[in-house]
Amino acid sequence: MSKLLGIIGGMGTQATACLYQILHDLQSVAVEQEYINVLLYSKPTIPDRTAYITGQSTVSPLEPLIYAAKTLENAGVDCIIIPCATSHYFYEELTKAVNIPILNLLDETASYVKTLGFKKVCLLATDGTIRGRFFHNSFEKCGIEVETPSDSVQADLMDIIYDIKRGEAVSLEDLGSIVSKACGDGVDAVVLGCTELCVVGDRGRQMNRPPVLINILEVLAEASIAFCKTGRE
């Protein structure tokens, strides 16, 4: 029997739904009983992570995140994942609050990029993630150089991210325009470092043109399946 995977979702809701679809698509089963067991706690009321990190809000997301993690732990999950990169600003506090592993989306992504042999990536992420540099830290530990968009392109990127959070339509062309403006010389791959962007990027999986798009929801899903089937942390 596979382990029970717990998901703290709702940040945002489309990203959470996309993750569940990817989890399904990545599993090859003979019968439905072979799919991994999942317990999803969607909690979109968790305060805005970027607003808190950048000082635009004094309302901390930490306590609601801890509450969600403990709720899943008490429900019997074996590990937790959080399909929200910016929430990993609170990763250390969250791991101390529960007695089960929380898979680190940032470290999993950096390790995956390293296995591909890439040396330089363009990181598309929220202001909070870039300001906090916690994604930078994961990549730099793996010897990977990180490039981020200019201020003007970053502002456009944030508009796209919040459009997706509101449920508005964002096209693959919109994302492609950001990618083309953000990438400098020598970039091996573009990391969709906000799970909202993965909702759009997932529609472009079949694009066979550079640069390579790294969908962090796919990375998280692969790591989750591996943990649930083998117990690997």
Q: Tell me the catalytic residues.
A: 84, 194
Question: CB–CB of 89/81 below 8 Å?
Answer: no
Residue 111 exposed, middle or buried by CB count within 10 Å (0-12, 13-18, 19+): middle
User: In this structure, what DSSP letter does residue 168 have?
Assistant: -
Closest CA to 166 of 3, 8, 12, 6: 12
Residue 192's H or E segment, with its range, is strand 189-192
Structure tokens at 17: 């739904």
Could you tell me the two tokens for 79? Answer: 């590990």
Task: Answer whether 169's CB lies under 8 Å from 140's CB.
Answer: no
Residues 10, 129: Cα–Cα separation, whole Å? 18
Query: Using an 8 Å Cβ cutoff, are 69 and 98 in contact?
Result: yes
